Structure 1
């Protein structure tokens, strides 16, 4: 699925694909979409517009998706007796 396809998904689509965190993922995508459309205010031209970086987001998607930052699956910790 490409970015346009991802942006076209509804909140219900997210919930069906990820029942435990679909609503959170959808909300985060909405924040990113809103930030992408923001423009710097004309009343403060001396400031350079702050760049939006998804990496700076507070919510880490690696946990709900069960993946590490590199994209691999997390291994269960080994228990020793």
Structure 2
């Protein structure tokens, strides 16, 4: 999973305290991951997906304000 945080002007920002939270589709927290890797402003984590849909959320803090990106990930086995 990869995220690049941007402000309202579309400029890339570098938040502090970046975390990844994974929820089930009922919005129940499955796990919180704090060991997030970064590469040129992109934050990523190699996650082994469960066998069902899930929601992931990257969050952090920029200028003492929260920032987050959230997405529903559909799991489809082919």
TM over 0.5: no
Higher RCO (C-alpha 8 Å, min separation 6): 2
Rg larger in structure = 1
Q: Of Structure 1 and Structure 2, which has the larger fraction of its residues in helix? A: 1
Instruction: Give the TM-score of the pair, scaled to structure 1.
Output: 0.23
